[in-house]
């Protein structure tokens, strides 16, 4: 049965690449108002294409910004229902003179297609559509129920997506969500990221005297705002980098033995990482390796700080103000609001003498985890392996993807991040490209995945 | 005997003020090359004036910058020899539009003379010349031997003074040095500052990874340069603000009982200081009051620090660099070089893991102290009291005056800071002025001082 869609994809490869080029030619830059019509044109191109391949209920939902494209096919009866997310908007193209070929004139060189959006994310959206086409053309139907939601504002922070998802939560009901907007760890090595860290940010402002003071005249008798801030900031960690905020680690889920094994199987070369970063040694919480420290342990990082005189040379000033920006990376099951409150409590407890301290909250985002042993995760691993011929790596990521947290929060669905990009494909930069190897293998992987999913009971 | 010079000064007040105005009219701004000729003109004005009043050996010493004016009168035989220092150059006048009357058109209003240089320092230099004149005119001689050195580069950091003093150390030999370039603590309240703090500065640069990193991707596994700096900076003080650098306080001279009493007699209102500074509480080393903390205790102050993102909002960056500028205010008998070495040793000992730390030395200046009970200090106190009719306050200052340290280092002389300015006379700012009350009383004080000194044996 697999052979049929494989053959179909092979036979139609040139035609598909020409269609992809058409899609990539539309300069759907969501951040630039002069491209508003182009963004709309890309939505309409999708609408037309989705109808052509056999999707139903194809709709363009207008928002206060750029539209959201929806389509479904729900005739697989009691089979699982998959919600697929992608985006059709792209990043700006500056600096334009660094592009070897124009960003909106797609060009294939060395088995890579070069264009803005080639990997992020038009290429990957297009693959889902062509996987659907291949299955329809070779099976006459889809093995699972599929819902597609493709937005046009991802590159500007998806301002209207959460509202839309909230409003249409019934329409978007599914057994799990597949997001194809990421990548695999390296060429020929498929991987699934099943967990992300969350975020909790704040700014601390310390205020001492009304104005900066002469360090001779007042030094020694007035609290220096920089000293106060330093004392406060130093209280957040112990000497091994462990966060000392009371209760900070209380809700942190420990790794399962299976996860530990999966991470060790990655054979991460820490010495190579150290060398690439150019640091004398890696540094972090004792008892955890690099992957654990960045993926499954929460952090509290100073992102920036400032006080007093920063110019060249010396200025004997006693600074009256000092500022630090802090973000915590959170892991399941930490709650951003709860962590924020713990931080505020810590700051109050450690408030230095002789100054006032104020705290301003910044962005928050929940951490995300689809259980490693979730059938949709394991099936995705099998689908990759079938096509790439090597075991699928399982990873988490230390970063955040805000829309994942939004979907998780609103729909409460397990999420599978099934991406096909490669780390060096210049997304957001000049000469963005997409490896055709992953274009071809990716469509096959998707088809295998739906067939595998159709054998599972997910409800 | 006193009456004679008093009467003389009274009788010639208008003439003296007109002469002072002439001196103030010369725009001798040392920092601006277009005023080079004016600076020279001021030196020549002094040369002429010094000869007129009866000083001898009047010379203009050229330097690679602006000239130094010298004069002496050495016929008081075995009486003490006083070296008097002042400067005839002035600060720039920007912002010019904030001056109520033009800076180089001296104007008397409300018994104050307004002009650039009125109090800093032409007015005070002029007073010494007129005190000499009054004594010559009424006594036919001076009660002590006097040497005058008046430089033209004080406002640009006296680059050529130390070399000159070094070269002419024999010419400048004296029993003590009087510097009239400071002030008294408040109107009607004469004071003598007999000690200054020194200085030792450095910059600490912390370097982590090659570049700033994504706090999601690497946070938790790489030392954050800001964390490392904070940890290091926090190690410099205990929670009460005491410096924890080993050996830091070893050479600090304790206050004598007489000094303690003199400071308490100032009746410093700490609550008023707190309120003026706008801080919730004053803060410093336990067991010391405000004056002690700022005058006789050394400090280690962060003057500025910077790391990572300082703009608005949030940027989830893991900074690779962090910088802090630090100066210590030193007290007798701390040695700047020795303290610098203790700081470097401390930094090496507390160097955080996972980063490199480098240290750059900045300016150093020795602390200065003329013993409180030195006869020249006590005589100055008596001279002020005789004229102002109230006891003279004895203070130290938390700041530094680099030339004092230079004179001290090269000539090894006791220094008396006999100033007549008031704290609010806008030196270095628009509408600089000088209270004529202190102009009149100051000249009398100087005459009394020389008479008193002539009764002492200082060798």
Is B406 strand, coil or helix? helix
The mean per-residue pLDDT over the stretch A292-316 comes to: 95
First-to-last C-alpha distance (Å) of chain A = 26
Is A27 strand, coil or helix? coil
Residue-wise DSSP of A174-225: -SEEEE-SSB-SBTTB-EEEEEE-EEEEEEEEEE-SSS-EEHHHHBTTB--H
Q: Where are the alpha helices (DSSP H) in B106-213?
A: 122-139, 161-167
Cβ neighbours, 10 Å, residue A408: 20
- Give the number of A-B residue pairs with CB atoms closer than 8 Å: 265
**B2, pLDDT greater than 60:** no
Whether B361 and B185 have beta carbons less than 8 Å apart is answered as: no
In the block, residue with structure tokens 């002029």: B126
Distance in angstroms (rounded) separating the CA atoms of residues A334 and A196: 12
Q: Which residues of A touch B241 (CB under 8 A)?
A: 220, 223, 227
What pLDDT is attached to residue B247? 98
Q: What percent of chain B has pLDDT over 70?
A: 100
Distance in angstroms (rounded) separating the CA atoms of residues B291 and B350: 32
The shortest CB-CB distance from A302 to any of B226, B327, B356 is to B226
Whether B329 and B303 have beta carbons less than 8 Å apart is answered as: no
Task: Share the mean pLDDT of chain A.
Answer: 95
- pLDDT tens digits for range B409-447: 899 999 999 999 998 899 889 999 999 999 999 999 999
Confidence of residue B286 (pLDDT cuts 50, 70, 90): very high
What pLDDT is attached to residue B218? 94
Tokens standing for residue A219? 């030094």
Task: Share the mean pLDDT of chain B.
Answer: 95
Q: What percent of chain A has pLDDT over 90?
A: 92
Whether A198 and A338 have beta carbons less than 8 Å apart is answered as: no
Helix (H) or strand (E) holding A291: helix A290-295
Whether A385 and A190 have beta carbons less than 8 Å apart is answered as: yes
Q: Which residues of A touch B317 (CB under 8 A)?
A: 303-304
The mean per-residue pLDDT over the stretch A180-189 comes to: 93
Query: Any idea what the Cα angle at residue A160 is, between residues A154 and A161, rounded to 5°?
Result: 65
Could you give the count of Cα atoms lying within 13 Å of B439 in the half-sphere of its Cβ? 26
Residue-wise DSSP of A308-370: E--SSS---EE-SEEEEEEEEEE-TT--HHHHHHHHHHHHHHTPPTTSEEEEEEEEEE--EE-
CB–CB contact A223 B317 (8 Å): no
Please check whether residue A16 touches B, CB under 8 A: no
Helix (H) or strand (E) holding B77: none
Instruction: Measure in Å the smallest separation between the Cα of B396 and chain A Cα atoms.
Output: 10
Confidence of residue B240 (pLDDT cuts 50, 70, 90): confident
**A406, pLDDT greater than 50:** yes
- pLDDT tens digits for range A187-205: 999 999 999 999 999 999 9
Q: Cα dist. A90→A115, A126, B116 in Å?
A: 10, 14, 62
Is B19 strand, coil or helix? helix
Q: Which residues pair with A359 in a beta bridge?
A: A204
The mean per-residue pLDDT over the stretch B149-154 comes to: 96
The mean per-residue pLDDT over the stretch B258-275 comes to: 95
Q: Where are the alpha helices (DSSP H) in B350-390?
A: 375-388
Tokens standing for residue A209? 């005297």
Please check whether residue A396 touches B, CB under 8 A: no
Buried b (16+ CB within 10 A) or exposed e, A73-103: beebeebbbbbbbbbbbbbbbeeeeebeeeb
Is B45 strand, coil or helix? helix
The shortest CB-CB distance from A231 to any of B227, B234, B298 is to B234
Backbone angles phi and psi of B158, in degrees to 5: 50, 50
Whether A415 and A369 have beta carbons less than 8 Å apart is answered as: no
Q: Which of A209, A212, A221, A401 to substitute to test the interface with B, most B CBs within 10 Å?
A: A221
Distance in angstroms (rounded) separating the CA atoms of residues A39 and B10: 89
* Nearest residue to A219 (alpha-carbon basis) of B317, B297, B318: B297
Please check whether residue B299 touches A, CB under 8 A: yes
Q: Which residues pair with A304 in a beta bridge?
A: A325, B308
Query: Helices A122-139 and A13-25 sit at what angle, rounded to 10 degrees?
Result: 140
Query: Helices A122-139 and A2-11 sit at what angle, rounded to 10 degrees?
Result: 120
- pLDDT tens digits for range A230-280: 999 999 999 889 999 999 999 999 999 999 999 999 999 999 999 999 999
What pLDDT is attached to residue A400? 84
Helix (H) or strand (E) holding A449: helix A436-453
**B238, pLDDT greater than 50:** yes
The shortest CB-CB distance from B304 to any of A220, A310, A398 is to A310
> What are the start-end ranges of the E strands in B12-78?
56-61, 68-73
Q: Which of residues 146-205 of A touch B (CB under 8 A)?
A: 197, 199, 201
What pLDDT is attached to residue B1? 47
What pLDDT is attached to residue B83? 98
Q: Which of residues 198-227 of A touch B (CB under 8 A)?
A: 199, 201, 208-210, 213-224, 226-227
Please check whether residue A331 touches B, CB under 8 A: no
Residue-wise DSSP of A41-86: HHHHHHHHHHHHHT-EEEEEE--SSS-EEEEEE--STTS-EEEEEE
Domains belonging to chain B, first-starting first, are 2-196+367-453 (3.40.630.10), 198-258+296-363 (3.30.70.360)
What pLDDT is attached to residue A405? 83
Cβ neighbours, 10 Å, residue B235: 18
Nearest CA in chain B to A315: B303
Q: Which residues pair with B68 in a beta bridge?
A: B61
Q: Which of B193, B222, B307 to substitute to test the interface with A, most A CBs within 10 Å?
A: B222
Backbone angles phi and psi of B431, in degrees to 5: 60, 40
Q: What is the largest CA-CA distance in chain B?
A: 86
Q: Cα dist. A128→A425, A443, B142 in Å?
A: 20, 7, 104
CB–CB contact B221 A284 (8 Å): yes
Confidence of residue A1 (pLDDT cuts 50, 70, 90): very low
Helix (H) or strand (E) holding A130: helix A122-139
Whether B382 and B141 have beta carbons less than 8 Å apart is answered as: no
Residue-wise DSSP of B389-430: SSPPEEEEESS--HHHHHHHHHH---EEE---B-TTS-TTST
- pLDDT tens digits for range A95-153: 999 999 999 999 999 999 999 999 999 999 999 999 999 999 999 999 999 999 999 99
**B192, pLDDT greater than 90:** yes
What pLDDT is attached to residue A300? 98
Distance in angstroms (rounded) separating the CA atoms of residues A64 and B261: 75
Distance in angstroms (rounded) separating the CA atoms of residues B222 and A232: 21
Tokens standing for residue B315? 């940027």
In the block, residue with structure tokens 């709650």: A335
In the block, residue with structure tokens 């955040």: A400
Give A192: exposed, middle or buried? Use CB within 10 Å, 0-12, 13-18, 19+. buried
């Amino acid at each position: 049965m697999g052979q049929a869609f494989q053959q179909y994809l092979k036979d139609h490869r040139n035609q598909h690449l020409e269609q992809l080029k058409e899609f990539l030619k539309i300069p759907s830059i969501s951040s630039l108002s002069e491209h508003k019509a182009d963004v709309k044109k890309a939505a309409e191109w999708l609408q037309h294409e989705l109808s052509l391949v056999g999707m139903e209920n194809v709709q363009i939902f207008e928002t206060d910004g750029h539209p959201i494209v929806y389509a479904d096919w729900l005739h697989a009866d009691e089979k699982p229902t998959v919600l697929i997310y992608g985006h059709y908007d792209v990043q700006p193209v500056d600096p334009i003179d660094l592009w070897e070929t124009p960003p909106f004139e797609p060009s294939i060189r060395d088995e890579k297609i070069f264009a803005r959006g080639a990997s992020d994310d038009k290429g990957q959206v297009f693959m889902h559509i062509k996987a659907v086409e291949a299955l329809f053309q070779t099976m006459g139907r889809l093995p699972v129920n599929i819902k597609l939601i493709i937005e046009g504002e991802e590159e500007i922070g998806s301002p209207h997506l959460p509202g839309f998802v909230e409003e249409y939560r019934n329409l978007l009901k599914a057994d799990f969500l597949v997001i194809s907007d990421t990548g695999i760890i390296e060429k020929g090595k498929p991987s699934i990221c099943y967990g992300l860290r969350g975020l909790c940010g704040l700014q601390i402002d310390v205020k001492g005297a009304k104005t900066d003071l002469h360090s001779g005249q007042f030094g020694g008798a007035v609290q220096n705002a920089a000293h106060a801030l330093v004392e406060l900031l130093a209280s957040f960690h112990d000497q091994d980098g462990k966060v000392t905020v009371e209760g900070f680690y209380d809700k942190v889920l420990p790794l399962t033995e299976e996860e530990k094994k999966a991470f060790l199987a990655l054979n991460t070369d820490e010495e190579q990482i150290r060398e690439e970063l150019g640091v004398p040694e890696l540094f972090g919480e004792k008892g955890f390796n690099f992957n654990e420290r960045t993926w499954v342990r929460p952090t509290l990082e100073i992102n920036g700080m400032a006080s007093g005189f920063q110019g060249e040379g010396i200025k004997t000033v006693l600074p009256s103000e000092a500022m630090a920006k802090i973000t915590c990376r959170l892991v399941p099951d930490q709650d951003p609001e709860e962590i924020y409150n713990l931080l505020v409590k810590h700051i109050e407890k450690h408030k230095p003498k002789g100054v006032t301290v104020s705290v301003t909250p910044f962005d928050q985002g929940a951490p995300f985890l689809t259980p490693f042993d979730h059938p949709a995760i394991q099936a995705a691993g099998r689908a990759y392996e079938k096509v790439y011929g090597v075991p699928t790596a399982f990873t988490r990521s230390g970063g955040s993807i805000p829309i994942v947290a939004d979907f998780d929060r609103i729909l409460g669905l397990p999420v599978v991040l099934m991406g096909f990009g490669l780390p060096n494909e210049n997304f957001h930069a000049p000469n963005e490209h997409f490896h055709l190897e992953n274009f071809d293998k990716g469509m096959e992987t998707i088809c295998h995945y739906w067939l595998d999913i159709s054998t599972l009971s997910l409800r």
